[in-house]
């Protein structure tokens, strides 16, 4: 029961220790601030998406297809009425003058006033309203900056040349990060070179609607859904766009919240460390209170009230700081957001952060406070009475620890896209904590057990500080090791992802892919490659087809059966090839690869990729029937291949044997390799000028694009990880400060025995060197384990460690520990010996 006496004693007992407790309180402030900022941003983001979902779609309804709309679909479109706008989207090479640069871009051919809602933001302003009438073009801002293009220059797409009317800064449904994959160019649909949409090309055809009569679009879609499904027409509504963006962006800020929660947990560790040292200094006071009649639970309540007050103050300060940090979050995430997020105060987020600050502070403070209940009053009379207790035998200690674990798990599950992901994250984080504590315990045991007695005194004394009474080995291992673990994991994952592209573009593999080459163009394209003294690594024919039946069951019949859930493998357009050999990127895992069609067989043996086999639910001996430009071609699954899709080249879901598709309409892909960007640019320029419909991918640009994308993602994660790093540094400083009394006593005793200032400093340097090195090494080893898990189970590739970052962190973390330790311990050598010795009397 709380009463005035407990509150008064809690206030009085905090005298003389408020600075030290305040230092650890600041670690909790940082974590709460991060959580409040992210939570408030998430609330505002959800509100902004709800309010701007119509602008994100740019219309009330949009119908989409991979082929030009059929007559029946056009009739439906006409019957829907409303204001309409058309768009055709496809990839094509763009040739810029006067720079003579070429680049693969996403072309959007617009007809009408799309978007009806929201706006296409351009420089200069108003260019989006004029380029259609002027038959000009709008070019992505990132591409214009990269190539040094200016408004007024020209771009050639296919056979037509367009004056650049302005640069695209922002468009509906697209953020800046998307433009890195494929920069966008807007042109008038009325002046589109239709030869770019010939055989072999892939395009998306859209029609956008704006209804002024206030009709129910969702009800309209439900009504026409069967027709759309039968004719392979997709649709987007405002509600669907809102739900899609809500899911995507919610997962983003949930991930950031979990990263911020690590800072809160580190702050809790700092609180537990501070309270542990604080209680040890109050042993005699607690014993006196027990002697004058204070029961154990009232004595316990005094210090629990202090912990709750720390949590309340830390939560309040952290919440206010988080409100300020919230203004920075939209700037940090600007590359990932499709809209602007206005700043507004979310009281629910503030209250949640406040509650979390109090809860975590009290929970972690209770771990060292449970021992107060067992302090004997005899401690005031006889110093020989032991006050050391084994908390692990106390049921209350386990109850508190279980509450902390349950709370951490609940938070992880609540902020994960799926419960099992949250459970996995909580388990992984717990494993990291346990591993760091286990290593700390092992270091203390090993240094005592295998103490190097032959070393010099200074080295022996510095090493002995790792296991001496009142050591801070566990606290520093947690704070430093966890921070190292987070950063090293980030670098490792980034290196692994970039490594996949580097593997794809090895020294002996093609780095230029030219595609959409028509049969009457193939020989001339190969001649251009040869004239540039470059190799033709592969010349691959491609035939487009659609799946019409699986094991004699019609795909159309499956589509009409609402009980059958068709996968993407049933509905997609297949681009297949024919050859009598396997590529180095594929291997047969089941059946036998047959490279030449047996004469007289109507059902030809084919080889399919394993994921397609799983999605179609077929195996060896099953039949697949394809429509090849109007001709039905049945195939028998003779082999199933595993394909390494990371390698740049021509990989296919379905491979036919030779002797079947040679006469079918087809186009070609040519693979080559250049030694530098100059060679690549020159060859691409000559090919595009001769054949505008041919497109090319330069792997060097792909690598630079992925590097830019990962750099931006890394910046966001590093921004959030900085809260954990800052918290860890505060915990590090606090651990040194709370042990200052013990260090002062040791320093004075060494000084009394004749040790110089230099020797005392060297002893501290050695201690911090060992602590920093062991913490960094442990964090790096754990990061290798987590990086390997990400690589194998998430990205399904080989793990690649970032060795330069590893070496740097192994040097920086110990150096940082030494600097902070020495700065925080300054002046202890100057304390008079008599003052310290009197304090022990």
* H helical segments located in 119-234: 127-130, 141-147, 176-181, 217-230
Q: What is the pLDDT of residues 540-564, one digit of tens each?
A: 999 999 999 999 899 888 877 766 6
Helix, coil or strand: residue 621: coil
Cα 10 to Cα 30: distance, rounded to the nearest angstrom: 25
Read off the pLDDT of each residue in 736-765 and give the average, rounded to a whole number. Answer: 74
Cα torsion for 575, 581, 586, 589, to the nearest 10°? 110
Give CA–CA dist 177/480, Å, rounded: 33
Output DSSP code: residue 754: T
Spatial distance between the Cα atoms of 500 and 494, rounded to a whole number of angstroms: 10
The residue-averaged pLDDT of 83-99 equals 89
**CA 613 from centroid of its chain's CA atoms:** 30
CA distances from 827 to 45, 272, 295, 768, 796 (A): 50, 26, 41, 17, 54
With cut-offs at 50, 70 and 90, classify the pLDDT of residue 841. very low
Q: Which phi and psi (to 5°) does residue 605 adopt?
A: -75, 130
User: Is the model's pTM score more than 0.85?
Assistant: no
User: For 57-73, what is the mean pLDDT?
Assistant: 90
How does pLDDT run across 627-671, given as a tens digit for each residue? Answer: 998 899 999 999 999 998 766 668 899 999 999 999 998 999 998
How does pLDDT run across 754-800, given as a tens digit for each residue? 778 788 888 888 888 888 888 888 888 888 888 888 777 766 677 88
CA dihedral of 43, 45, 46, 52, whole degrees rounded to 10: 140
Across the range 415-434, mean pLDDT stands at: 78
Tell me, what's the pLDDT at 188?
Answer: 94
pLDDT of 739 reads 60
The Cα-based distances of 403 to 239, 351, 367 in angstroms read 40, 21, 11
Closest Cα partner for 626 from 586, 653, 644? 653
Which region among 177-191, 232-246, 740-754 has the lowest average model confidence (pLDDT)?
Answer: 740-754
In whole angstroms, give the CA distance from residue 837 to residue 748: 9
Whole-number Å distance between alpha carbons of 72 and 66:
15
Q: Whole-angstrom Cα distance, residue 490 to residue 497?
A: 11
d(CA 244, CA 242): 6
Residue 654 — φ and ψ, nearest 5°? -130, 130
What average pLDDT does the structure give for the chain? 81
Cβ atoms 417, 254 nearer than 8 A: yes
- The size of the chain, in residues, is 841
Torsion of CA 279, 281, 282, 287, to 10 degrees: 110
If phi > 0 it is left, if psi is from -120 to 50 it is alpha, else beta; for residue 426 that is alpha
How far is it, in rounded angstroms, from Cα 751 to Cα 295? Answer: 43
What mean pLDDT is predicted for residues 45-67?
Answer: 82
Angle, helices 18-57 vs 238-281, to 10°: value is 180
Tell me the helix, strand and coil percentages in the chain, rounded to 5.
55, 15, 25
**Residues 50-72: b if buried by 16+ CB within 10 A, e if exposed:** eebbbbbbbbbbbbbbeeebeee
State the chain's maximal CA–CA distance in angstroms.
Answer: 107
- Give the integer Cα–Cα distance in Å for 322 and 316: 10
pLDDT digit string, tens, across residues 671-703: 888 887 788 888 888 888 888 888 887 776 666
Separation of first and last alpha carbons in the chain: 37
Task: Tell whether the model's pLDDT for residue 217 goes beyond 70.
Answer: yes
Judged against a pLDDT cut of 80, whether residue 181 lies above it is answered with no
Reduce the DSSP state of residue 362 to 3 states and report it.
helix
CA distance 151 to 157: 17
Identify which of 825, 820, 818 has the alpha carbon closest to the alpha carbon of residue 757.
Answer: 825
pLDDT at 385: 45
Higher pLDDT, 625 or 36: 625
Per DSSP bridges, beta strands 631-643 and 623-628 are: antiparallel
Other residues' Cβ atoms within 10 Å of the Cβ of residue 297: 11
Cα distances (angstroms) measured from residue 484 to each of 70, 245, 322, 428: 59, 33, 24, 16
Average pLDDT over residues 35-61: 79
**pLDDT in the model for residue 384:** 45
pLDDT over threshold 80, residue 487: no
How far apart (Å, rounded) are the C-alpha atoms in residues 349 and 327? 14
Task: Please calculate the CA angle 309-312-315 and round it to the nearest 5 degrees.
Answer: 145
DSSP 657: P
Cis peptide before 190 (omega within 30 of 0): no
Whole-number pLDDT of residue 386: 45
Of 47, 216, 49, the residue nearest 118 (C-alpha)? 49
Residue 151: pLDDT band (50, 70, 90) is: very high
Q: Residue 257: is it exposed, middle or buried by C-beta count within 10 angstroms (0-12/13-18/19+)?
A: buried
CB 301 within 8 A of CB 2: yes
Angle between helices 757-789 and 473-504 (to 10 degrees): 40
How far is 476 from 280, CA to CA, in rounded Å? 19
**Whole-angstrom distance, CA of residue 250 vs CA of residue 143:** 30
pLDDT digits (tens, 9 = 90+) for 243-255: 777 776 666 666 6
Report the pLDDT value the prediction gives residue 499, as an integer from 0 to 100. Answer: 66
Per-residue pLDDT at 702:
65
CA-based Rg of the chain, rounded to a whole angstrom? Answer: 34
Q: Domain coordinates of the chain in residue numbers?
A: 1-57+250-419, 536-672
> Checking DSSP bridges between strand 654-656 and strand 154-157, what pairing results, if any?
unpaired
Q: Please tell me whether the peptide bond between 115 and the residue prior to it is cis, using omega within 30 degrees of 0.
A: yes
* C-alpha span between 785 and 90 (Å, rounded): 42
More confident residue, 22 or 764: 764
Angle of the 677-690 helix axis to the 522-531 helix axis, nearest 10: 150
Angle formed at CA 263 by CA 258 and CA 269, multiple of 5 degrees: 125
Flag whether pLDDT at 155 surpasses 60.
yes
Mind giving me the DSSP string for 721-753?
HHHHHHHHHHHHHHHHHHTHHHHHHHHHHHHHT
588 forms beta bridges with: 641
Distance CA 822, CA 398 (A): 36
Task: Kindly report the number of other CB atoms within 10 A of residue 305's CB atom.
Answer: 19
Q: Do strands 101-111 and 184-188 pair parallel, antiparallel, or not at all (unpaired)?
A: parallel
Average pLDDT over residues 825-839: 62
User: Are residues 96 and 102 in contact, defined by beta-carbon separation less than 8 angstroms?
Assistant: yes
3-state secondary structure 64-124: EECCCCCHHHHHHHHHHCCEEEEEEEEEEEEEEECCCEEEEEEEEEEECCCCCCCCCEEEC
Lowest mean pLDDT among 469-478, 584-593, 647-656: 469-478
Give all strands (DSSP E) within 593-692, no chain letters.
Answer: 604-609, 623-628, 631-643, 654-656, 667-672
What is the H or E stretch that residue 554 is in? strand 553-554
Instruction: Indicate the pLDDT class of residue 473, thresholds 50, 70 and 90.
Output: confident
């Amino acid at each position: 029961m709380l009463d005035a006496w407990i509150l008064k004693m809690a206030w009085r007992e905090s005298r003389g220790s408020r600075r030290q407790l305040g230092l650890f309180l600041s670690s909790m402030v940082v974590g709460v601030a991060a959580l409040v900022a992210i939570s408030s941003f998430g609330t505002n983001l959800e509100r902004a998406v709800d309010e701007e979902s119509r602008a994100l779609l740019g219309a009330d309804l949009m119908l989409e297809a991979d082929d030009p709309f059929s007559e029946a679909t056009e009739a439906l479109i006409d019957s829907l009425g409303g204001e309409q706008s058309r768009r055709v989207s496809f990839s094509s090479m763009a040739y810029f003058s006067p720079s003579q640069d070429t680049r693969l871009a996403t072309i959007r051919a617009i007809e009408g006033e799309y978007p009806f809602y929201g706006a296409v933001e351009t420089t200069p302003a108003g260019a989006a309203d004029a380029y259609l009438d002027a038959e000009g073009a709008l070019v992505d801002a990132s591409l214009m900056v990269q190539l040094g293009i200016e408004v007024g220059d020209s771009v050639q797409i296919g056979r037509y040349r367009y004056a650049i009317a302005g640069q695209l800064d922002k468009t509906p449904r697209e953020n800046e990060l998307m433009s890195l994959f494929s920069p966008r160019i807007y042109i008038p649909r009325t002046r589109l070179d239709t030869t770019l949409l010939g055989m072999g090309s892939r395009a998306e055809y859209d029609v956008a609607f704006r209804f002024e009569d206030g009709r129910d679009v969702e009800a309209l879609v439900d009504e026409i859904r069967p027709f759309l499904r039968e004719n392979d027409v997709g649709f987007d509504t405002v509600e669907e766009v809102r739900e899609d963006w809500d899911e995507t962006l919610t997962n983003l800020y949930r991930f950031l919240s979990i990263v911020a929660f690590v800072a809160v947990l580190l702050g809790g560790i700092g609180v537990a460390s501070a309270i542990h040292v604080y209680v040890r200094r109050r042993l005699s006071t607690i014993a006196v209170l027990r002697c004058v009649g204070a029961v154990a639970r009232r004595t316990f309540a005094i210090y629990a009230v202090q912990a709750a007050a720390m949590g309340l103050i830390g939560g309040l300060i952290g919440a206010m700081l988080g409100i300020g940090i919230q203004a920075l979050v939209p700037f940090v995430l600007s590359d990932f957001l499709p809209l602007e997020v206005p700043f507004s105060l979310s009281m629910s987020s503030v209250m949640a952060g406040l509650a979390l600050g109090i809860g975590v502070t009290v929970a972690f403070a209770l771990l060292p406070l449970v021992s107060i209940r067992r302090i004997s009053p005899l401690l005031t009379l006889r110093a020989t009475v032991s006050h050391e207790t084994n908390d692990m035998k106390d049921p209350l200690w386990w109850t508190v620890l279980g509450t902390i674990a349950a709370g951490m798990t609940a938070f992880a599950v609540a902020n994960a896209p799926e419960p099992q992901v949250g459970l996995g994250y909580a388990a992984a984080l717990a494993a990291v904590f346990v591993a760091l504590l286990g290593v700390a315990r092992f270091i203390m045991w090993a240094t005592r057990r295998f103490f190097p007695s032959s070393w010099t005194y200074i080295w022996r004394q510095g090493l002995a500080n790792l296991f001496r009474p009142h050591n801070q080995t566990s606290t520093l291992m947690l704070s430093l090791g966890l921070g190292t673990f987070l950063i090293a994991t980030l670098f490792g994952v980034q290196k692994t992802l970039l490594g996949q592209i580097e593997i794809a573009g090895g020294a002996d593999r093609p780095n230029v892919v030219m595609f959409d080459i028509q049969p009457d163009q193939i020989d001339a394209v190969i001649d251009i490659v040869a004239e540039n003294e470059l190799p033709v690594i592969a010349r691959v024919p491609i035939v487009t087809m659609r799946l019409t039946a699986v094991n004699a069951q019609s795909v159309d019949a499956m589509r009409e059966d609402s009980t059958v859930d068709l996968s993407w493998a049933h509905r997609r357009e297949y681009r297949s090839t024919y050859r009598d050999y396997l590529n180095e990127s594929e291997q047969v895992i089941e059946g036998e690869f047959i490279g030449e069609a047996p004469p007289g067989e109507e059902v030809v043996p084919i080889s399919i990729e394993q994921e397609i086999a799983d999605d179609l639910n077929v195996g060896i001996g099953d039949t697949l029937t394809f429509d090849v430009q109007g001709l039905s071609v049945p195939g028998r699954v003779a082999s199933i291949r595993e394909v390494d899709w990371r390698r740049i080249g021509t990989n296919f879901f379905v491979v036919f044997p030779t002797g079947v598709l040679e006469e079918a309409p087809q186009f070609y892909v040519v693979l080559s390799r250049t030694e530098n960007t100059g060679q690549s640019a020159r060859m691409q320029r000559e090919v595009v000028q001769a054949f505008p419909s041919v497109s090319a991918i330069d792997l060097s640009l792909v690598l630079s694009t992925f590097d830019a994308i990962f750099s931006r993602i890394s910046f966001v994660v590093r921004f959030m990880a900085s809260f954990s790093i800052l918290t860890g540094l505060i915990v590090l400083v606090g651990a040194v400060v709370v042990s200052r009394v013990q260090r002062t006593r040791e320093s004075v005793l060494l000084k009394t025995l004749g040790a110089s200032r230099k020797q005392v400093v060297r002893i501290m340097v050695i201690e911090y060197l060992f602590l920093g090195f062991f913490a960094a090494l442990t964090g790096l080893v754990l990061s290798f384990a987590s990086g390997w898990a990400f690589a194998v189970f998430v990205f399904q590739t080989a793990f690649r460690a970032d060795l330069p970052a590893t070496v740097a962190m192994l040097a920086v973390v110990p150096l940082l520990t030494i600097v902070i330790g020495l700065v925080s311990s300054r002046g202890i050598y100057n304390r008079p010996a008599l003052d310290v010795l009197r304090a022990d009397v």
